[in-house]
Structure 1
Amino acid sequence: MTAVSLPARSRRLPLRRILCLLPILLVAVVAVRHRSVLAEGFGHLGHAEWPWLLAAAGATSLTWVAAAVTRQGAVVQRLPRRRLLATQFAAGAANHLLPTGLGASAVNLRFMTVCGVPLARSSAALALYLLAEGVARVGLLAMLLLVFPDALRFGSLLPGGALGPLLGALAAAVLVAVGVLVFVRRLRAALFSFLRTALCEARSVHTRPARALALWGGSLAFPVLQAAGLAAVGQALGLPVPVVSTAVAYLAATVAVALVPTPGGIGSVEAALVLALVAAGGPVALVTAVVLTFRVITVWLPLVPGAVTLGALVRWKVI
């Protein structure tokens, strides 16, 4: 008897179906690993003032709009609005499942490629978005510190003698990066080629006032909305810290955490926010409750619907 071979299609691995279910599986794994934090955070929701919590949820929802506006501003080609907004919602979930920035970057890079933007220009637009977001966040923090220099007591943010080793580690990292670029010719050539493409894309974007306004306006709106969400949670739980100090604490914490490659900043963001809010004058116990509640609203509640949206976008070949 001759063996009957299976059709090639039946032997093929259902990769797209696996990719649709993978985000939800990762959400379950992350939730199990952080179940104690989740339980405590949800517990604080029952003791908070709901109007302020709704304001925090509204500010969180607007951050996806701000991200979509910024993404559109970073590329000359017009992107489909509804799919772009849905992609930002899904990218938020991906960003909390992979090391900081990688999830959202991968989702948006794939989305722009599917929309017909060449890979080189998509990568340049992604770099421009990250640059604008970083400049806006650091610039906003610097401006607030100039206007309100006493908003934080920075001495309490770091243990005694820790600033020197931290600056030394940062300088060593910069030296290693420069050394790699100097001695690895192919990497240097690839970097210079990418920089030329990125500069060309940045010039094209800034010759269009609407794109430049979307890029920088969205980049500023995103951290402002996130800081407003944290301030609203603080008001809901009666945190005795001024709104401006809360905003400065949020910006300082997130700028510091940007160098820590943890999935979505889970763990590192909470620790940095607690330290920053304590430095702003909040009591430790209440600050911890505020931070956990804030992270439940901004991370954990949108995580499951974001993962479902991500799976749907993969299935519908939007990304």
Structure 2
Amino acid sequence: MTGGEKKTAKRPKLGETGHLSGRFFGVLGVGVLVFAVLNFGDLQSFGAMLQRAEPLWLLVAAALQGITYASVSLGWKLVLDKARSPLPLFRLIPVALSKLFADSMIPAAGMGGNLLLVDRLVTLGVPRGAAVAALILSLIGYYAAFAVFAIVMLVLLWMHGKATPLLAGVVTAFLLVALAIPGLALWLRRRGSRPLSPFLEHLPIVHTLLHVVGEAPARLLRDKTLILGVTACNAALFLVGAATLLVCMLALGHPIPFSTAFIAMMGGSIVAALAPVPMGLGSFEVGSTAMLGLLGVPVPAALAGTLLLRGFTLWLPLLPGFVLMKGAFRSVRRPHRSKALKVD
């Protein structure tokens, strides 16, 4: 067997790893069931809060969450348009819903939903290289926005006199993660098909990226205007999330400043990224509630607002997200017709 054949054998197409996708979907299905059982009390609390909350503010919160799915989809659309493989926004929003659902259920530093993104876009008729570019640029944009807003959060905490060395250390640790993941994607893209050490190839994030990053057109990854556009779309996720938390607190009769909601949103997101507990059990809630309490919000009100926010971001999309994810895995598990490799 030649060296080139060994490389090909080591790196099958992501869409051809149906057994891996099946196992992932099985874990996800069990995870949803366990999550529902373990968090049944939270679900009951969410229902109780819905009953006593102001209906108008609840409608506003639901509308804001719709914007998050549109923002993610718009970032992909910018890349696909630039790659001359356009798709209408309404066809991308279901993909965004299933991806954000997977990211919530299996955080893994935000990598949970990337397993199927490329395959879903290819299924919709997008050339594989353009789909891979959408994945890499969305990673870069997401973590660039996340890193900038983490620093903004630390500055706001300093302005409130709450920037302790512990919080500074947590933010610094997150910044290392935020720089490492897109940096890893670009490094794998530049090094091409040269084999890695077995240890690196078996790391989950490396294993996911390794099969796809080499196919992204270099011209798209060097387009600074495109990167800024995708970053802006991902920045909207955090801003809209903070606005949703603010609206949830208003719905419960506990108004807070936007800066407080923003700090809590970022604090919860950072804790969830650094502590990828299976199914995200309580990690975001702990971070968000702790930040709200640190800024003077009564803990019962902070927990109630955070749980209401999680109801909109996780519980309400749970069923449609799971159904869309199931359809995505069925698509991936279909056998792909092998094509002859064209050598220039």
TM-score, scaled relative to structure 2: 0.68
Deviates more, 1:40-49 or 1:92-101: 92-101
- Following the alignment from structure 2 to structure 1, what is the Cα–Cα distance between the partners of residues 300 and 162? 18
- Following the alignment from structure 1 to structure 2, what is the Cα–Cα distance between the partners of residues 95 and 248? 21
Identity of aligned residues (%): 24
1:107 aligns to what?
A: 116
Which aligned pairs between 1:169-208 and structure 2 lie closer than 5 A? 186-187=195-196, 200-203=219-222, 205-206=223-224
Cα RMSD of the aligned pairs, angstroms, is 4.1
Structure 2 counterpart of 1:269, one-letter code = F
- Following the alignment from structure 1 to structure 2, what is the Cα–Cα distance between the partners of residues 125 and 52? 34
Deviates more, 1:245-254 or 1:70-79: 70-79
2:339 aligns to what?
A: none
Higher relative contact order structure (alpha carbons within 8 Å, sequence separation ≥ 6)? 1
- Kindly indicate whether the alpha-carbon contact (under 8 Å) linking 1:68 and 1:88 is maintained by their aligned counterparts in 2: yes
1:138 to 125, 144, 147: 147
Which aligned pairs between 1:1-319 and structure 2 lie closer than 5 A? 26-75=31-80, 76-77=82-83, 78-81=85-88, 82-100=90-108, 101-114=110-123, 115-118=125-128, 122-143=131-152, 146=155, 149-151=158-160, 153-155=162-164, 186-187=195-196, 200-203=219-222, 205-206=223-224, 209=225, 211-212=226-227, 214-263=229-278, 265-314=280-329
Structure 2 counterpart of 1:83, one-letter code = R
- Kindly indicate whether the alpha-carbon contact (under 8 Å) linking 1:99 and 1:265 is maintained by their aligned counterparts in 2: yes
Give a deviation string over 1:153-209, Cα, whole Å, max 9, x none.
244x95xxx9779979999xx9xxx9xx9xxx9427998x95896865311x43xx5
1:7 aligns to what?
A: none
Secondary structure of residue in 2 paired with 1:269: helix
Segments of 5+ residues of structure 2 without an aligned counterpart are 1-18, 188-193, 335-344
- Kindly indicate whether the alpha-carbon contact (under 8 Å) linking 1:99 and 1:262 is maintained by their aligned counterparts in 2: yes
Number of aligned residue pairs: 286
- Following the alignment from structure 1 to structure 2, what is the Cα–Cα distance between the partners of residues 46 and 197? 48
- Following the alignment from structure 2 to structure 1, what is the Cα–Cα distance between the partners of residues 326 and 171? 40
**Larger Cα-atom Rg:** 1
Structure 1 counterpart of 2:284, one-letter code = V
- Following the alignment from structure 2 to structure 1, what is the Cα–Cα distance between the partners of residues 215 and 324? 35
Structure 2 counterpart of 1:277, one-letter code = L
Give a deviation string over 1:36-76, Cα, whole Å, max 9, x none.
22112222221211211211111111100001011233454
> How much does 1:112 deviate?
2.9
